[in-house]
Every structure is written in C-alpha cells, then in structure tokens.
C-alpha cells in the first residue's frame, strides 16, 4: 500500500491504523479510486498530507455511541489542513482469536482501539473479558495473531480476521445496532465556493471566548438572530490556565451567505480567536 501511494501521492488518502482497520474501510468507501496509505497515528496521517505524501487524509471525529475521538479537537486546528468532505460509516465489530470457535469458549482479555472497546463495553463486561487498549483495531488483531495465545482476543472489523489469520468467535459485538462513526476528509486546500454552489453545506470552526461574563451567550447569539442552525457545539480546554474554554462547532451554511457571515462576525467579536476549519457538502441531511 505504501509503495503504491508513494508512486502516485496525489491519489493517496492517509488513514490511521493497520490494513483492515475501520479507517481503512472508510477510506476505500469514501474514495473508491484513491490509494490507501496506512499511518501509525492520527498525527502521522495528517503529516502525510502536509508533507505531500498523500493528497487527503480521512480521520474519525465522533461516534454515535462513544462520543468524540480523543485529541481530535487539537489535531485538526494544529494541522493547518482544511476539511473538504465528511463520511458516515456504520460500524460493526467482531470478536476474533486464534484457534477454532467452540461452544462456551472464554477469554481473559480483548485488545482493541479505545473507541471500539467503549462501543463494546457491555458485551465485554457481560462475559468477564478485560478490555485492553491498542493503537488501532486491525493492529490489535495482528497482535493477537502474533501472540498466538488462545486466552486473548481482539475486537476488530471482520476483514481483519481474514487478513491476519484469526477465527471470528462472534460477530456484531457492538452494544448498539445503529453504531455510526463520522469521518472528515482533509486536504491542503479548501473547496472553492463555486464547487459547493447549490449544495447543502456544513461549516466547521473553532473559537475561544473572551474571559468575561456572558461571553459564550453573546458569541452564540448571532446564530440565533440570523437563523443559522448550529448542529454541534463541544467545549475543550486550550492551554493550562483553565481561564476560558475553546469550542468546536458545526453549522449549516457557509461563508458568503449573508446570515452566516453576520453570525460569524458577531461570534468573532466576542471571541479571542475564531478559525474556520472548512466548508464542505453534507453527507447526510441535518435539521
């Protein structure tokens, strides 16, 4: 995969994880003609785009069961890349291990990415299986195959069992049947307004409010008065002072629309910083 991506970097799409991970699947589904480029960490995937080794990167940002992906609020702004698309993917996990599936077979522990473990926590607890974190789901499957220990298992996409020579013990071990992860695709340059014309559009941005009373209330007021629908608002601490919070937000619409421009201008007036991470076509309707 790395050799193919290196030979045609403009077509490469970087993802975090080993071959067979959920992000690998998302990359091939969202960009069927692209060349998947596996990377060890989210930072490595973003750096591949910044360094020109890939044209795009696909990163999970939130899951319907387990919430936001850790650190993504810091990584996206720091990368300097722009969000150019989003992709929603249903998530199905399988429990896999070395050796044949047998009735009543038990395991001491299961390895997987923390997101997958969180999405399967009720399943694991009911069976007394200890969850152990790994860098990614498919990497956990490779590790279990390498260990060859029949008392440990991995939680990963079913394709990982085939790739790493494991047996699927149980399918669909996620705790919710409607388990869904939202991914964003990032590139060095933003999408032009002309390319988004006539399409339902999302805009993602971050802002840090001033450390004064009612700063957040005032910063958000412009979205209400201008009729701009905010579909996501999450707070996080930026720096060590804990004096004021930063926020990650999604709205329907894009700069260039008068209502959006007025709302963003008012938000910026009451903020220390406001930075747009990207405007892109909706992958599924909101509102």
Positions annotated as catalytic residues are: 181, 183
Tell me if 164 sits within 8 A of 24, measured CB to CB: no
HEC-encoded secondary structure of the chain: CHHHHHHCHHHEEEEECCCCCHHHHHHHHHCCCCEEEEECCHHHHHHHHHCCCCCEEEEEEEECCCEECCCHHHHHHHHCCEEEEEEEEECCCEEEECCCCCCCCCCCEEEECHHHHHHCHHHHHHCCCEEEECCCHHHHHHHHHHHCCCCEEEEECHHHHHHHCCEEEEECCCCCCCCEEEEEEEECCCCCHHHHCCCCEEEEEEEEECCCCCHHHHHHHHHHHCCCCEEEEEEEECCCCCCCEEEEEEEECCECEHHHHHHHHHHHHCEEEEEEEEEEECCCCCC
Structure tokens at 118: 């969180």
């Amino acid at each position: 995969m790395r050799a193919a991506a290196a030979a045609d970097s403009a077509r490469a799409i970087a993802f975090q994880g080993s071959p067979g991970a959920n992000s690998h699947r998302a990359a091939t589904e969202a960009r069927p003609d692209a060349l998947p480029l596996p990377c060890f960490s989210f930072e490595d995937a973003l750096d591949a785009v910044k360094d020109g080794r890939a044209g795009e990167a696909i990163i999970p940002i939130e899951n319907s069961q387990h919430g936001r992906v850790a650190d993504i609020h810091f990584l996206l702004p720091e990368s300097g890349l722009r969000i150019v698309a989003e992709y929603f993917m249903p998530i199905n996990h399988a429990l896999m291990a070395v050796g044949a599936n047998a009735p009543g077979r038990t395991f001491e522990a299961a390895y997987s990415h923390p997101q997958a473990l969180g999405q399967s926590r009720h399943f694991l607890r009911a069976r007394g299986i200890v969850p152990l974190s790994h860098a990614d789901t498919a990497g956990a499957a490779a590790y279990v195959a390498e260990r060859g220990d029949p008392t440990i298992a991995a939680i990963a996409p079913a394709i990982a069992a085939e790739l790493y020579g494991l047996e699927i013990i149980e399918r669909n071990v996620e705790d919710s049947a409607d388990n869904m992860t939202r991914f964003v695709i990032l590139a060095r340059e933003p999408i032009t307004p002309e390319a988004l014309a006539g399409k339902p559009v999302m805009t993602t941005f971050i802002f840090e409010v001033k450390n004064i009373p009612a700063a957040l209330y005032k910063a958000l007021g412009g979205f209400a008065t201008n009729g701009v629908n905010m579909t996501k608002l999450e707070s996080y601490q930026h720096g060590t002072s804990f004096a004021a919070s930063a926020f990650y937000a999604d709205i329907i619409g894009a700069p260039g629309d008068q209502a959006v421009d007025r709302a963003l201008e008012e938000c910026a007036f009451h903020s220390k910083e406001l930075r747009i991470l990207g405007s892109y076509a909706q992958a599924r309707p909101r509102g």
